[in-house]
Structure 1
């Protein structure tokens, strides 16, 4: 196996690394230059707790009408 320091391969590795870094910097600069800064309104959520209690009671007629909406198949696949 050859020593990369003696054979001159290290120069190629350094040039490859430098070119990748330069390309990354150019892409970063291009993405920041052409980015449009849009103002986004800050949403404010209500933190007040409302005291509201409702009891929902379903009658048997409502339960039967809900089960009639779906029909089961005759055989399972």
Structure 2
């Protein structure tokens, strides 16, 4: 064993236990990207689409934040399914 510290661990812990931590990471990412997107989003019915276009085209890395938020939601549900 080449570990620095040899700590005891329960024998029932497997790789499937990582999905709980991934859920926490996904949730934190969703909250942060959602807050950044909410700063530039307008929910009025006549300007909602143009505000999304503004986020993708004019905001620095807005396209990246929007894609991380959208794909993060899908990854969150995959992790929930695997966690259950």
- TM-score normalised over the length of structure 1: 0.33
Larger Rg: 1
Higher relative contact order (CA 8 A, sep 6+): 2
Query: Hey, which of these two has a bigger chunk of helix by percent?
Result: 2
